[in-house]
Amino acid sequence: MAGSSPVAVAVTADVQDFAAEKAWVRYLAMNDSRSIVRIAAWQAVLSKSPEAAIRQFMDSGYAYAVRLSEEKKARNTDFVKWVLATYPAEFSPAVHAEAQKAMNSPRDADREQFANGGFEAAKQRDRTARETTGEQAKALAERDRQFVRDLAAHDPGEQVRVSASYAVRLGATDSDVVDFFAGGWAFGATLDLDTHRRRSADNEMRWRSALSRLLSDAAAAEQAARDASGDLAERAKATAVRAWQAVGEQTGPARSYWGEAQRLADQQAANWASVLAAANAASGLNWAAIIGPARDNQAAWADESTLAAQQARYWAGLVQQAEDGEQRVRAA
Protein backbone atom coordinates (compact mmCIF):
# COMPACT_ATOMS: atom_id res chain seq x y z
CA MET A 1 0.00 0.00 0.00
CA ALA A 2 2.86 2.37 0.83
CA GLY A 3 4.12 2.13 -2.74
CA SER A 4 0.74 2.91 -4.32
CA SER A 5 0.25 6.25 -6.03
CA PRO A 6 -1.77 8.84 -4.07
CA VAL A 7 -4.34 9.05 -6.87
CA ALA A 8 -4.88 5.28 -6.97
CA VAL A 9 -5.17 5.12 -3.20
CA ALA A 10 -7.70 7.98 -3.14
CA VAL A 11 -9.85 6.45 -5.87
CA THR A 12 -9.90 3.01 -4.19
CA ALA A 13 -10.71 4.50 -0.79
CA ASP A 14 -13.49 6.62 -2.29
CA VAL A 15 -15.12 3.61 -3.96
CA GLN A 16 -14.90 1.57 -0.77
CA ASP A 17 -16.30 4.44 1.30
CA PHE A 18 -19.30 4.89 -1.02
CA ALA A 19 -20.07 1.16 -0.88
CA ALA A 20 -19.96 1.31 2.92
CA GLU A 21 -22.15 4.42 2.99
CA LYS A 22 -24.70 2.85 0.65
CA ALA A 23 -24.88 -0.28 2.82
CA TRP A 24 -25.35 1.86 5.92
CA VAL A 25 -28.10 4.01 4.37
CA ARG A 26 -29.89 0.87 3.14
CA TYR A 27 -29.80 -0.46 6.70
CA LEU A 28 -31.45 2.75 7.95
CA ALA A 29 -34.04 2.53 5.18
CA MET A 30 -35.03 -0.93 6.35
CA ASN A 31 -34.70 -0.66 10.11
CA ASP A 32 -34.93 2.85 11.52
CA SER A 33 -38.04 3.19 13.68
CA ARG A 34 -38.75 6.72 12.37
CA SER A 35 -40.85 6.67 9.21
CA ILE A 36 -39.44 9.93 7.87
CA VAL A 37 -35.85 8.71 8.29
CA ARG A 38 -36.70 5.46 6.50
CA ILE A 39 -38.34 7.33 3.62
CA ALA A 40 -35.41 9.72 3.25
CA ALA A 41 -32.95 6.83 3.29
CA TRP A 42 -34.91 4.91 0.64
CA GLN A 43 -35.08 8.00 -1.55
CA ALA A 44 -31.29 8.25 -1.42
CA VAL A 45 -30.70 4.56 -2.12
CA LEU A 46 -33.19 4.42 -5.00
CA SER A 47 -32.20 7.74 -6.55
CA LYS A 48 -31.22 7.86 -10.22
CA SER A 49 -27.98 9.44 -8.98
CA PRO A 50 -27.42 7.33 -5.86
CA GLU A 51 -23.86 8.43 -5.15
CA ALA A 52 -24.79 12.11 -4.96
CA ALA A 53 -28.04 11.36 -3.13
CA ILE A 54 -26.38 9.16 -0.54
CA ARG A 55 -23.63 11.70 0.07
CA GLN A 56 -26.27 14.38 0.53
CA PHE A 57 -28.17 12.14 2.96
CA MET A 58 -24.99 11.50 4.93
CA ASP A 59 -24.02 15.18 4.96
CA SER A 60 -27.36 16.73 5.91
CA GLY A 61 -30.36 14.61 4.89
CA TYR A 62 -30.26 12.34 7.91
CA ALA A 63 -30.12 15.21 10.41
CA TYR A 64 -32.99 16.95 8.62
CA ALA A 65 -35.10 13.78 8.60
CA VAL A 66 -34.45 13.28 12.31
CA ARG A 67 -35.61 16.84 13.03
CA LEU A 68 -38.79 16.30 11.04
CA SER A 69 -39.45 12.99 12.81
CA GLU A 70 -39.33 14.79 16.16
CA GLU A 71 -42.28 17.00 15.26
CA LYS A 72 -45.50 16.08 17.04
CA LYS A 73 -47.45 14.83 14.02
CA ALA A 74 -44.63 12.54 12.94
CA ARG A 75 -44.09 11.23 16.47
CA ASN A 76 -47.77 10.42 16.83
CA THR A 77 -47.87 8.59 13.51
CA ASP A 78 -44.79 6.56 14.39
CA PHE A 79 -46.27 5.74 17.78
CA VAL A 80 -49.49 4.43 16.23
CA LYS A 81 -47.54 2.28 13.77
CA TRP A 82 -45.39 1.04 16.62
CA VAL A 83 -48.45 0.03 18.69
CA LEU A 84 -49.99 -1.77 15.71
CA ALA A 85 -46.84 -3.84 15.34
CA THR A 86 -46.55 -4.53 19.07
CA TYR A 87 -50.14 -5.25 20.15
CA PRO A 88 -51.72 -7.90 17.87
CA ALA A 89 -55.49 -8.10 17.63
CA GLU A 90 -55.48 -11.66 18.93
CA PHE A 91 -54.16 -10.68 22.37
CA SER A 92 -54.97 -6.95 22.61
CA PRO A 93 -58.09 -6.43 20.49
CA ALA A 94 -59.10 -3.04 21.90
CA VAL A 95 -55.63 -1.54 21.59
CA HIS A 96 -55.15 -2.89 18.09
CA ALA A 97 -58.56 -1.71 16.93
CA GLU A 98 -58.08 1.81 18.29
CA ALA A 99 -54.59 2.02 16.80
CA GLN A 100 -55.91 0.87 13.42
CA LYS A 101 -58.70 3.42 13.61
CA ALA A 102 -56.22 6.20 14.40
CA MET A 103 -53.88 5.08 11.63
CA ASN A 104 -56.67 5.06 9.04
CA SER A 105 -58.03 8.44 10.08
CA PRO A 106 -57.35 11.44 7.84
CA ARG A 107 -57.18 13.61 10.97
CA ASP A 108 -53.90 14.21 12.78
CA ALA A 109 -56.01 14.99 15.87
CA ASP A 110 -57.14 11.37 16.08
CA ARG A 111 -53.55 10.15 16.23
CA GLU A 112 -52.81 12.84 18.79
CA GLN A 113 -55.74 11.65 20.89
CA PHE A 114 -54.65 8.03 20.65
CA ALA A 115 -51.09 8.87 21.72
CA ASN A 116 -52.33 11.00 24.62
CA GLY A 117 -54.95 8.96 26.42
CA GLY A 118 -56.54 6.70 23.85
CA PHE A 119 -53.82 4.08 24.04
CA GLU A 120 -53.98 3.83 27.83
CA ALA A 121 -57.79 3.70 27.78
CA ALA A 122 -57.74 0.88 25.22
CA LYS A 123 -55.20 -1.04 27.31
CA GLN A 124 -57.52 -0.75 30.29
CA ARG A 125 -60.43 -2.11 28.24
CA ASP A 126 -58.36 -5.10 27.22
CA ARG A 127 -57.34 -5.63 30.83
CA THR A 128 -60.95 -5.46 32.00
CA ALA A 129 -61.98 -7.99 29.35
CA ARG A 130 -59.23 -10.38 30.44
CA GLU A 131 -60.22 -9.97 34.09
CA THR A 132 -63.86 -10.61 33.22
CA THR A 133 -63.16 -13.97 31.61
CA GLY A 134 -60.42 -14.81 34.11
CA GLU A 135 -58.95 -17.44 31.79
CA GLN A 136 -55.46 -15.94 31.55
CA ALA A 137 -55.21 -15.46 35.31
CA LYS A 138 -56.30 -19.05 35.92
CA ALA A 139 -53.68 -20.26 33.47
CA LEU A 140 -50.84 -18.61 35.41
CA ALA A 141 -48.49 -21.00 37.16
CA GLU A 142 -45.89 -20.15 39.79
CA ARG A 143 -43.14 -20.93 37.27
CA ASP A 144 -44.61 -18.19 35.04
CA ARG A 145 -44.36 -15.65 37.85
CA GLN A 146 -40.81 -16.80 38.59
CA PHE A 147 -39.90 -16.41 34.93
CA VAL A 148 -41.06 -12.79 35.08
CA ARG A 149 -39.10 -12.23 38.30
CA ASP A 150 -35.99 -13.56 36.56
CA LEU A 151 -36.58 -11.19 33.65
CA ALA A 152 -36.92 -8.29 36.07
CA ALA A 153 -33.51 -9.12 37.51
CA HIS A 154 -31.52 -10.38 34.54
CA ASP A 155 -33.02 -9.51 31.15
CA PRO A 156 -30.43 -7.72 28.95
CA GLY A 157 -33.03 -5.12 27.91
CA GLU A 158 -33.57 -2.22 30.29
CA GLN A 159 -37.18 -1.63 29.28
CA VAL A 160 -38.07 -5.32 29.57
CA ARG A 161 -36.59 -5.28 33.07
CA VAL A 162 -38.68 -2.20 33.95
CA SER A 163 -41.88 -3.75 32.60
CA ALA A 164 -41.23 -7.09 34.30
CA SER A 165 -40.36 -5.37 37.59
CA TYR A 166 -43.68 -3.53 37.51
CA ALA A 167 -45.57 -6.79 36.86
CA VAL A 168 -44.09 -8.48 39.95
CA ARG A 169 -43.73 -5.42 42.19
CA LEU A 170 -44.89 -5.51 45.81
CA GLY A 171 -48.66 -5.48 45.71
CA ALA A 172 -48.94 -6.62 42.09
CA THR A 173 -51.85 -8.86 41.11
CA ASP A 174 -52.23 -11.72 38.68
CA SER A 175 -53.72 -9.20 36.25
CA ASP A 176 -50.41 -7.34 36.22
CA VAL A 177 -48.55 -10.52 35.25
CA VAL A 178 -51.16 -11.31 32.60
CA ASP A 179 -50.79 -7.78 31.19
CA PHE A 180 -47.05 -8.29 31.00
CA PHE A 181 -47.47 -11.42 28.90
CA ALA A 182 -50.23 -9.88 26.77
CA GLY A 183 -48.37 -6.72 25.79
CA GLY A 184 -45.95 -5.32 28.33
CA TRP A 185 -43.19 -7.76 27.43
CA ALA A 186 -43.35 -7.00 23.70
CA PHE A 187 -43.72 -3.28 24.45
CA GLY A 188 -40.51 -3.22 26.48
CA ALA A 189 -38.67 -5.37 23.95
CA THR A 190 -39.58 -3.04 21.09
CA LEU A 191 -38.42 -0.05 23.12
CA ASP A 192 -35.10 -1.75 23.81
CA LEU A 193 -34.52 -2.59 20.15
CA ASP A 194 -35.56 0.84 18.88
CA THR A 195 -33.42 2.61 21.49
CA HIS A 196 -30.41 0.55 20.48
CA ARG A 197 -30.94 1.25 16.79
CA ARG A 198 -31.41 4.99 17.29
CA ARG A 199 -28.32 5.23 19.46
CA SER A 200 -26.33 3.30 16.87
CA ALA A 201 -27.60 5.47 14.01
CA ASP A 202 -26.97 8.77 15.77
CA ASN A 203 -23.49 7.71 16.88
CA GLU A 204 -22.50 6.38 13.46
CA MET A 205 -23.65 9.49 11.64
CA ARG A 206 -21.79 11.74 14.07
CA TRP A 207 -18.60 9.71 13.76
CA ARG A 208 -18.80 9.55 9.97
CA SER A 209 -19.36 13.30 9.71
CA ALA A 210 -16.16 13.96 11.67
CA LEU A 211 -14.35 11.24 9.73
CA SER A 212 -15.25 12.78 6.38
CA ARG A 213 -13.64 16.07 7.38
CA LEU A 214 -10.54 14.36 8.78
CA LEU A 215 -10.04 12.25 5.65
CA SER A 216 -10.34 15.33 3.46
CA ASP A 217 -7.87 17.19 5.66
CA ALA A 218 -5.44 14.27 5.63
CA ALA A 219 -5.55 13.90 1.84
CA ALA A 220 -4.97 17.64 1.40
CA ALA A 221 -2.13 17.63 3.93
CA GLU A 222 -0.48 14.66 2.21
CA GLN A 223 -0.67 16.39 -1.16
CA ALA A 224 0.72 19.58 0.36
CA ALA A 225 3.64 17.61 1.81
CA ARG A 226 4.37 16.13 -1.61
CA ASP A 227 4.32 19.57 -3.22
CA ALA A 228 6.40 21.30 -0.55
CA SER A 229 10.12 21.85 -0.87
CA GLY A 230 12.95 23.43 1.04
CA ASP A 231 12.35 24.50 4.63
CA LEU A 232 8.61 23.97 4.30
CA ALA A 233 8.88 20.28 3.38
CA GLU A 234 9.53 18.89 6.87
CA ARG A 235 6.81 20.99 8.48
CA ALA A 236 4.32 19.99 5.81
CA LYS A 237 5.31 16.36 6.25
CA ALA A 238 4.79 16.57 10.03
CA THR A 239 1.38 18.16 9.47
CA ALA A 240 0.37 15.34 7.12
CA VAL A 241 1.53 12.70 9.60
CA ARG A 242 -0.57 14.29 12.34
CA ALA A 243 -3.55 14.50 9.99
CA TRP A 244 -3.46 10.78 9.27
CA GLN A 245 -2.95 10.03 12.95
CA ALA A 246 -6.10 12.06 13.68
CA VAL A 247 -8.01 9.81 11.27
CA GLY A 248 -6.83 6.74 13.18
CA GLU A 249 -7.76 8.28 16.51
CA GLN A 250 -11.26 9.08 15.25
CA THR A 251 -11.93 5.36 14.81
CA GLY A 252 -11.42 4.58 18.50
CA PRO A 253 -14.90 5.37 19.88
CA ALA A 254 -16.61 3.71 16.90
CA ARG A 255 -14.57 0.51 17.14
CA SER A 256 -15.23 0.33 20.88
CA TYR A 257 -18.95 0.98 20.46
CA TRP A 258 -19.51 -1.57 17.71
CA GLY A 259 -17.58 -4.24 19.59
CA GLU A 260 -19.83 -3.71 22.60
CA ALA A 261 -22.90 -3.50 20.35
CA GLN A 262 -22.12 -6.91 18.90
CA ARG A 263 -21.76 -8.41 22.36
CA LEU A 264 -25.12 -6.93 23.41
CA ALA A 265 -26.82 -8.13 20.22
CA ASP A 266 -25.46 -11.65 20.69
CA GLN A 267 -26.69 -11.63 24.29
CA GLN A 268 -30.13 -10.41 23.25
CA ALA A 269 -30.41 -12.95 20.41
CA ALA A 270 -29.49 -15.77 22.77
CA ASN A 271 -31.94 -14.47 25.37
CA TRP A 272 -34.80 -14.38 22.88
CA ALA A 273 -33.94 -17.84 21.63
CA SER A 274 -34.37 -19.03 25.22
CA VAL A 275 -37.66 -17.17 25.55
CA LEU A 276 -38.93 -18.66 22.29
CA ALA A 277 -38.00 -22.14 23.48
CA ALA A 278 -39.81 -21.56 26.77
CA ALA A 279 -42.88 -20.18 24.99
CA ASN A 280 -43.04 -23.12 22.59
CA ALA A 281 -42.68 -25.58 25.46
CA ALA A 282 -45.29 -23.91 27.67
CA SER A 283 -48.94 -24.92 27.57
CA GLY A 284 -50.45 -21.89 29.34
CA LEU A 285 -52.60 -19.37 27.48
CA ASN A 286 -50.38 -16.45 28.41
CA TRP A 287 -47.28 -17.76 26.68
CA ALA A 288 -48.95 -17.79 23.28
CA ALA A 289 -48.76 -13.98 23.14
CA ILE A 290 -44.96 -13.93 23.28
CA ILE A 291 -44.16 -16.57 20.64
CA GLY A 292 -44.34 -14.13 17.71
CA PRO A 293 -42.44 -11.29 19.44
CA ALA A 294 -39.78 -13.73 20.66
CA ARG A 295 -39.21 -15.05 17.15
CA ASP A 296 -39.10 -11.53 15.69
CA ASN A 297 -36.75 -10.21 18.36
CA GLN A 298 -34.38 -13.14 18.02
CA ALA A 299 -34.11 -12.48 14.28
CA ALA A 300 -33.80 -8.71 14.73
CA TRP A 301 -31.00 -8.97 17.29
CA ALA A 302 -29.19 -11.53 15.13
CA ASP A 303 -29.32 -8.95 12.33
CA GLU A 304 -27.98 -6.32 14.72
CA SER A 305 -25.05 -8.60 15.54
CA THR A 306 -24.27 -8.98 11.85
CA LEU A 307 -24.47 -5.22 11.37
CA ALA A 308 -22.20 -4.55 14.34
CA ALA A 309 -19.59 -6.96 12.97
CA GLN A 310 -19.74 -5.22 9.58
CA GLN A 311 -19.36 -1.81 11.16
CA ALA A 312 -16.46 -3.00 13.29
CA ARG A 313 -14.70 -4.23 10.14
CA TYR A 314 -15.39 -0.92 8.40
CA TRP A 315 -13.78 1.10 11.18
CA ALA A 316 -10.88 -1.35 11.47
CA GLY A 317 -10.29 -0.83 7.76
CA LEU A 318 -10.10 2.91 8.37
CA VAL A 319 -7.39 2.34 10.95
CA GLN A 320 -5.39 0.54 8.27
CA GLN A 321 -6.12 3.34 5.81
CA ALA A 322 -4.80 5.89 8.30
CA GLU A 323 -1.68 3.83 9.01
CA ASP A 324 -1.03 3.43 5.29
CA GLY A 325 -1.40 7.16 4.79
CA GLU A 326 1.02 7.92 7.58
CA GLN A 327 3.50 5.42 6.17
CA ARG A 328 3.29 6.96 2.69
CA VAL A 329 4.00 10.41 4.09
CA ARG A 330 6.97 9.23 6.13
CA ALA A 331 8.41 7.29 3.16
CA ALA A 332 7.98 10.14 0.67
The pLDDT value given to residue 95: 97
The overall average pLDDT reported for the chain is 93
Cβ–Cβ < 8 Å for 81, 64: no
Cβ–Cβ < 8 Å for 181, 175: no
Helix axes of 6-31 and 35-45: crossing angle, nearest 10 degrees: 140
The count of C-alpha atoms lying within 13 angstroms of the C-alpha of 151, restricted to the half-sphere facing its C-beta, is 32
143 and 21, same structural domain?
Answer: no
pLDDT digits (tens, 9 = 90+) for 60-93: 999 999 999 999 999 999 999 999 999 999 999 9
Cβ–Cβ < 8 Å for 176, 166: yes
CA distance linking residue 98 with residue 80, whole number of Å: 9
pTM of the model: 0.90
Q: How would residue 14 be classed by pLDDT, with cut points 50, 70 and 90?
A: low
Q: How many structural domains comprise the chain?
A: 3
95 and 38, same structural domain?
Answer: no
pLDDT digits (tens, 9 = 90+) for 246-291: 999 999 999 999 999 999 999 999 999 999 999 999 988 999 999 9
pLDDT digits (tens, 9 = 90+) for 19-28: 889 999 999 9
Q: Which of 106-115, 133-142, 222-231 has the lowest mean pLDDT?
A: 222-231
302 and 192, same structural domain?
Answer: yes
> Residues 158, 188, 182, CA angle at the centre, nearest 5°?
140
Task: Please name which of 1, 43, 51 lies closest in space to residue 21, comparing C-alpha atoms.
Answer: 51
Cα separations (Å) of 295 from 156, 179, 189, 205, 288? 16, 20, 12, 30, 12
Cβ–Cβ contacts within 10 Å for residue 277, how many? 11
165 and 149, same structural domain?
Answer: yes
61 and 171, same structural domain?
Answer: no
296 and 216, same structural domain?
Answer: yes
The pLDDT value given to residue 138: 95
Cα–chain center distance at 313? 18
Give the domain-ending residue among 153, 186, 219: 186
166 and 119, same structural domain?
Answer: yes
For residue 12, pLDDT over 70 is answered with: no
Give the domain-ending residue among 37, 54, 69: 69
The pLDDT value given to residue 18: 83
What residues have CB less than 8 Å from 106, skipping those under 6 apart? none
Task: Please name which of 326, 324, 318, 319 lies closest in space to residue 17, comparing C-alpha atoms.
Answer: 318
Give the domain-ending residue among 186, 219, 244: 186
For residue 7, pLDDT over 80 is answered with: no
312 and 193, same structural domain?
Answer: yes
Structure letter (DSSP) for residue 231: H
146 and 266, same structural domain?
Answer: no
pLDDT digits (tens, 9 = 90+) for 43-53: 999 999 999 99
Structure letter (DSSP) for residue 171: T
The pLDDT value given to residue 284: 84
Domain span holding position 302: 187-332
99 and 160, same structural domain?
Answer: yes
78 and 59, same structural domain?
Answer: no
Q: Which amino acid is at 103?
A: M
152 and 55, same structural domain?
Answer: no
